[in-house]
Structure 1
Amino acid sequence: MHWSLLALAGQTALTLPPAVPAPPQPEPIDILELPLPPVAPSNITGACSASINPHNTGCIGKESDFFQAGDFTPDGKHIALTVEYIGAPAAPNPGNIYNGLQLILVKVDGTTFANGDSWKCLSCGVPAQNARSIDPSRDYPHIARNAKQALWGHNILECSSIPLTSDLCTPELTYIYPIHWPGTKNSPREMRMHPDDIHMGWSSFTTRGQYSYFGRLEFNAVPKNGPLVPRYDLVDVNILVQPDGPAPISVEGPELRIHNEAITIGELRGFSGSGNEIIYLGSTREANNIDLFAVHIITGAIRRLTSHPEYADPIAFSHDDQWFVTMDTRGSDRQMWMSGMRHVPPLIDLVAVTAAASIRNNGARRFFQPILIDRFGDRDAYFGQQVNADGGGNGSINDPNWNGKADPAFSPDGTMIVYWQSLVTEPACGGDNPLPCPESTAQGGRTYRVMLARLSSRTPTNPVPVFAVPDMVPWAMSFGPGDTPPAMHFVSGGNYTLHGKAGGFANVTLVNDELLGIPKTVSVDYTEYSDDGRHYINGYESVTLTVPKESPWSNHLDWVSDIVQTGLVHAVKKTGPGGFHMSINALENIFVANGTLTTTIDGVVYHQPLNYA
């Protein structure tokens, strides 16, 4: 039994004001696979022969660690992709320009470009003098709303003010400029362009943790320091930290306080359709439940977008701001064993949140599928609609061996969604793993594919006006060259009480790591704890975190749990004899566990994943 996306008995999502409308009904969705360049049998020179591609416009491989689908062009007729070309003929054959990582456009309407293909390469054959010191990061391809620029990882590609879709856009007129962040050694990651085509959002890891930033692109034709090539600089940078704002959990004397109004942008995931809100992964509201939030750029008002116990991460808003699509593990039961019990305060997440965010994957295998949700998010018994729910069988649109990846995107008129998937491969299956590997049904045996979902009952809509954002976000902090991120807030060790908003209490013991000064052990004893007067928690739970010095991304948890929830739902979260012990690396996502931890909700039992699954 899976948790339904439309109705979860007794599991209320959020308490919302009367202005929020009733949830929408499911709608018809038609899905097809988009064409890609043909697959070459190997990466040896000349493997992409004329018999494989008669147009001599390149081949791609069966597997690629770098392939990524992006979003639509403003006309809604193309999507941007990063592909890895292989097997190009040797020079002087003109086909040798189709080699390595490149940015391409693919038609979505069944038509072709002048070259006779459904695809056109934007970056192939660009003269070296037009692409000096470009950054090796070429992920998350995005076409600007002006149709004349593309964000390609940490680079901007443009074509002398010619629309990128035009046949007039040739390699000789194309320029690729690196994006530079002056005055810092930090490296931006997963950059997102604001709808105004000028501002950017991104995240970055430092020795103090992960922070997110907002800044403006400024062309620098003749830089005097840093890379001495024409480039785009990130200027007027804000670090998205509220200097005088509350922490998610604070101490007031002998009591703990939880502040849901705290702005805690862990990882920036993009912007709303108009650009008036920043979309992000934030501090958990319920134990082990990783969710998406939106914060208004001016007011700092926060909306919780998802609340289903499964993991939500990549997200895209429609241009009319009425819908979003997220890649989510809901329906897979991947997270239910640790997050399925709702309305539990996020106390153990002081030490367990990294593990909770990491088990969504098994190595390179993800368990995401696209979920369509209206702009108001999960609420009451509404948890969206799985875009690819129909089908069945090997290679079908809902084959669980084909897993969603980042990022999905809406067409500008709101009638289409594009997303891409990868097929499970070794070592997540086959070899020493007892799970067999499936055979790919994609062209040439490809292990990645791009899917187009047509929302067939919809009437096209117009994008809402782009929100005029200031250079400096009112609630954030300026972050100039040479600045250091502020120290992260950690709750001090000690014995505290957290009172439920509707009654009951939790006695909490926090033990901090003596060297790092961060929480190491969280122990909680619940007595009729309730925040909503409908769900009551009793029992004991304790988690201890160990982070090896030689591997700061690795987490080992020793877990004891025996808590019971009564009221609208009867649920139990319990470890087996000897407790539960798990290790996971946040970069590798390989799950290794000993012992058991199960969550039972109204008689349905959810077990932790097997070490090989």
Structure 2
Amino acid sequence: MALLPLAALALLFSKSSFGQRIPKPPRPEPIDIVELPLPPVISSSAVGACTAKANPRRTGCIGQEFTDFQSGDFTPDGNHVVVNLEFIGAPEAPAPGSIYTGEQLILVKTNGKTFANGDSWKCITCGVPAANSQSLDPERDYPHVARNGIKALWGHKIIDCGSTLLASDDCTPDKTHIYPIFWPTAADGSGAGGVPREMRLHPDDVHMGWSSFTANGGQNTYFGRLQFNPNPSSGDVQVPRYDLVDVNLLTDLTGPAPLMVNDNGELEHHPEAIGVGELRGFSGAGDEILYIGPSIEANNIDIFAVHVITGKVRRLTSHPEYADPMWMTAMRGIPPLIDAITITAAASTRNNYQRRFFQPILIDRYGDRGSYFGQQVNAGGDVNWNGRADPAFSYDGTKIVYWQALVTSPACGGFNPLLCPVSTAQGGRTYRVMLARLKSRTPTKPVPVFDVPDFIPWATPFPPGTELPAEYSIPPGTYTLRGKVSGTANATFIADSTTGRFKTVSVEYDNYSDDGKHIVDGVETVTNTADPANPWMSHLDWTSDLVGTGVVRATKETGPGGFQLSIDAMTNAFNANGTLTTTIDGVLYRQPANGT
């Protein structure tokens, strides 16, 4: 089964489908794959190593490895892709080529043509005068070209070339400005401001979404408006900047929680609840916010969309191998009760060090259904080239860009039984940008941009100085969750005495079914023995003895002594003892072995 990179659907869904009839799945379509050119590779990062022999035009060299490499999306004309990379080996100033140094943002041609200097790439940020690029945050992730083509998002920065297109040869360093983005969070605007992550620019080029970690290991997601501040008088960044204003906390305080205890003391599961977790972007029109949401089935992490006005939630993926690949969720129909403990570990097993279990999938806007789980874009490709986050469509719908990283040590070689592969990219690079041409498609016009309000009706206003509202949490205790069709799940939640976070969840299922197709019986218990002071670390002691009947015959069982899983969400280093095996109609699914 092919796997879906996080947020692969960010531009696949162009408009909402409320009230529309879901059509039959599309047939597979022909796709051509090519690798896009990047600057030449050199093996030394020493000053001056990027010689005229390595690059006769003296427009920069790059190294074989760069862990923060990332490609973004297309310019409006579809002929360029934005890429974040690192130039190395530049000579000292004022020698030719001295500006091509460090982490920079470039545009790469996708049509086989070149810029005026003869290169297939153009550096947007190289050589920008210091006066035009003050107080810049070091983040350089998730590059995105604005729909107007004259601005770009680069980490926590906005790149602006005035009224000139970034892809134009007339957009020169002296015309380019790089402005920091500042999130005022103190009531008087003082201090360092908030720390946004996963920033995404809305299709209207004015609003933004972003996530931010909380002290207890969770994260919240926000939506706000960019406002240029040419002369700020407060905050630690007092240079021309873009402020995030009219901020919304994407939490519905008046709606139900995904799991809650009702007045009768019984559990209720609300899959329709708005639970915006990690932000993954916007629909093509911008009328929906895309995010990783609370599991609807145990450990089955999916991508959701919520409409910015109505608050209507759509589950875009449901197969166990979307959107984080889950060997532990092959058995369907289990409600997300143990997720109170397992969800961090489940999300972290999407990769093991530098081996990611992803490949890009093309799936229509209605999501997986029946036997349709989408079409792998690079079917037959080398599995050692891992798909990475945020593939993107061209605005005319005929091309997809995605980037890949090669498996490297310690996910291979050394003590690992898997040998490290040899790179097939130019110069032995361990990263590359791929262009997929959808051969049977004809160009279309982009859908009009949805007019989003500054304040989203179902969200919570979050002006500077606001404290985060308390999140709903199930009180420790034993509760019954009644299946929507049949049976019960009796769940016991035991909290840690120091942090209040759940330490153990034990569930007994009796003929439980939400859909009448998948019926669950048996017992499952998970305990987290990790130091409660580190919310990112999981040491799970897991026992499972579940039987599934109905449309399939399934079992989910741990071996003698149970199954122990350890993983740090910050490093994704996966270690396991024992076995957790799921069998679906005789087909076995087991956890990956350590280091593989």
| Fold-level similarity (TM above 0.5) | yes
1:506 maps to which of 457, 464, 489:
489
Distance in 2 (alpha carbons) for counterparts of 1:596 and 1:382: 30
Q: How does 1:486-525 map to 2 (within 5 A)?
A: 486-525=469-508
Distance in 1 (alpha carbons) for counterparts of 2:491 and 2:85: 51
Distance in 1 (alpha carbons) for counterparts of 2:589 and 2:68: 34
2:530 maps to which of 547, 560, 584:
547
Q: How does 1:265-344 map to 2 (within 5 A)?
A: 265-312=276-323, 329=325, 335-336=326-327, 338-344=328-334
Distance in 2 (alpha carbons) for counterparts of 1:382 and 1:490: 36
Partner amino acid, structure 1, of 2:464: P
Counterpart in the other structure of 1:322: none
Counterpart in the other structure of 1:393: none
Q: CA deviation at 1:91?
A: 2.0
Post-superposition CA distance 1:244-302 (Å, at most 9, x none):
11111011233110001110111011000000000000000001100000000000000
Post-superposition CA distance 1:356-382 (Å, at most 9, x none):
101011012211100011111111221
Q: CA deviation at 1:578?
A: 1.0
Post-superposition CA distance 1:534-579 (Å, at most 9, x none):
1111111011123314533101111110000011101100000111
Q: Confirm whether residue 58 of structure 1 aligns to residue 66 of structure 2.
A: no
Q: Which runs of 4+ in 1 moved over 4 A?
A: 2-5
Q: How does 1:110-129 map to 2 (within 5 A)?
A: 110-129=112-131
Q: Confirm whether residue 261 of structure 1 aligns to residue 269 of structure 2.
A: no
Counterpart in the other structure of 1:138: 140
Distance in 2 (alpha carbons) for counterparts of 1:287 and 1:84: 40
Distance in 1 (alpha carbons) for counterparts of 2:243 and 2:348: 33
Q: Is the 8 A contact 1:282 1:293 kept in 2?
A: yes
Distance in 2 (alpha carbons) for counterparts of 1:602 and 1:596: 19
Partner amino acid, structure 1, of 2:73: D
Secondary structure of the 2:525 match is strand
Distance in 1 (alpha carbons) for counterparts of 2:150 and 2:413: 45
Distance in 2 (alpha carbons) for counterparts of 1:33 and 1:83: 16
Post-superposition CA distance 1:404-451 (Å, at most 9, x none):
112211000000000000000011111121211011010000000100
Q: Confirm whether residue 450 of structure 1 aligns to residue 433 of structure 2.
A: yes
Q: CA deviation at 1:3?
A: 7.8
Distance in 2 (alpha carbons) for counterparts of 1:578 and 1:487: 38
1:224 maps to which of 226, 233, 237:
233
Distance in 2 (alpha carbons) for counterparts of 1:82 and 1:497: 50
Counterpart in the other structure of 1:379: 369
Counterpart in the other structure of 2:11: none
Distance in 2 (alpha carbons) for counterparts of 1:229 and 1:83: 26
Q: Confirm whether residue 427 of structure 1 aligns to residue 410 of structure 2.
A: yes
Post-superposition CA distance 1:474-502 (Å, at most 9, x none):
00011111212112221111111111111
Counterpart in the other structure of 2:210: 202
Partner amino acid, structure 2, of 1:220: N
Distance in 2 (alpha carbons) for counterparts of 1:87 and 1:549: 45
Counterpart in the other structure of 2:9: none
Going from structure 1 to structure 2, the CA distance change for 1:555 and 1:359 (only over 3 Å counts) comes to: same
Distance in 1 (alpha carbons) for counterparts of 2:294 and 2:504: 18
Distance in 2 (alpha carbons) for counterparts of 1:475 and 1:38: 50
Q: CA deviation at 1:311?
A: 3.8
Distance in 1 (alpha carbons) for counterparts of 2:101 and 2:20: 56
2:385 maps to which of 402, 406, 427:
402
Secondary structure of the 2:555 match is strand
Q: Is the 8 A contact 1:256 1:497 kept in 2?
A: yes
Counterpart in the other structure of 2:197: 189
Secondary structure of the 2:28 match is coil
Secondary structure of the 2:208 match is strand
Q: CA deviation at 1:58?
A: 0.1
Partner amino acid, structure 1, of 2:513: S
Distance in 1 (alpha carbons) for counterparts of 2:136 and 2:575: 39
Distance in 1 (alpha carbons) for counterparts of 2:592 and 2:470: 35
Counterpart in the other structure of 2:44: 42
Deviating more after overlay: 527-536 vs 141-150: 527-536
Counterpart in the other structure of 2:542: 559
Going from structure 1 to structure 2, the CA distance change for 1:363 and 1:3 (only over 3 Å counts) comes to: closer
Question: How many residue pairs are counted as aligned between the two chains?
Answer: 574
Counterpart in the other structure of 1:464: 447
Counterpart in the other structure of 2:106: 104
Distance in 1 (alpha carbons) for counterparts of 2:37 and 2:543: 50
Distance in 1 (alpha carbons) for counterparts of 2:375 and 2:205: 31
Secondary structure of the 1:422 match is strand
Q: Confirm whether residue 27 of structure 1 aligns to residue 38 of structure 2.
A: no
1:214 maps to which of 223, 226, 229:
223
Identity between Structure 1 and Structure 2 (%):
65
Gaps of at least 5 residues in structure 2 are: 5-17, 187-192
Distance in 2 (alpha carbons) for counterparts of 1:361 and 1:189: 20
Distance in 2 (alpha carbons) for counterparts of 1:136 and 1:257: 44
Q: Is the 8 A contact 2:403 2:431 kept in 1?
A: yes
Deviating more after overlay: 161-170 vs 102-111: 161-170
Q: Is the 8 A contact 2:247 2:462 kept in 1?
A: yes
Partner amino acid, structure 1, of 2:65: E
Distance in 1 (alpha carbons) for counterparts of 2:582 and 2:172: 58
Secondary structure of the 1:94 match is coil
Gaps of at least 5 residues in structure 1 are: 6-15, 314-328, 330-334, 391-397
The alignment yields a C-alpha RMSD, in angstroms, of 1.4
Q: Is the 8 A contact 1:490 1:518 kept in 2?
A: no
Counterpart in the other structure of 2:7: none
Q: CA deviation at 1:242?
A: 0.4
